[in-house]
Structure 1
Amino acid sequence: MEHAAMKTIGINFNSQPVDLAEGTTLRELISTSIGKELDGNSLAVDGSKLGIAAAVNGAVVPRSAWNTCLLAQGHSVELVTAAQGG
């Protein structure tokens, strides 16, 4: 039985080119990049605070939409970590 080759897409993640599996969600990308498992609500499974925001093509994506935001060829994703102070 032949297996279909996994299709990939190319995006820019924090200004770096990255190849992802087609169908990758923003939540999956963020989970992998921060090394924490995120639940269906995009909250850390371990209960820790994330302190991050994500933007796709310059538009902030609310955490509630990370799980349904499918990434596509050419998307530009920026992950911003909140810092204390000001």
Structure 2
Amino acid sequence: MKIVINGESCEVVAGTLADLLEERALAGRVATAVNETFVPAAQRPACKLQEGDRVEILAPMQGG
């Protein structure tokens, strides 16, 4: 299915947000949002992805 990840159109096989993070080897500490709605880590396995979804994956940064 085709979705948008961090502004880039991508073809993925993942059915859930948790699967997508595993597929992209990003299962570490990241923040996620689907269609501009924050998705906590505990809800990622239940967050089903659909064609055209917009996913944001952000890694924490140090600094100030």
Give the TM bin, normalised by the shorter chain: 0.7 to 0.9
The alignment partner of 1:29 has SS state of helix
Match of 2:3 in 1: 11
Structure 2, unaligned stretches of length 5 or more?
none
Instruction: Give the alignment's TM-score, normalised by structure 2.
Output: 0.85
The whole-number CA distance in structure 1 between the counterparts of 2:26 and 2:40 is 20
Tell me whether 1:58 sits opposite 2:36 in the alignment: yes
Match of 1:46 in 2: none
The whole-number CA distance in structure 2 between the counterparts of 1:64 and 1:35 is 15
**Counterpart among 45, 49, 73 of residue 51 in structure 2:** 73
**More helix per residue: 1 or 2?**
2
Inter-CA distance 16–51: structure 2 relative to 1 (3 Å threshold): same
Inter-CA distance 17–63: structure 2 relative to 1 (3 Å threshold): same
Larger CA Rg, structure 1 vs 2 = 1
TM superposition shift of 1:32: 1.8
Tell me whether 1:31 sits opposite 2:9 in the alignment: no
Structure 1, unaligned stretches of length 5 or more?
1-8, 37-49
TM superposition shift of 1:35: 5.4
Higher relative contact order (CA 8 A, sep 6+): 2
Inter-CA distance 56–84: structure 2 relative to 1 (3 Å threshold): same
Identical-pair percentage = 30
- The letter of the residue matching 1:73 is E
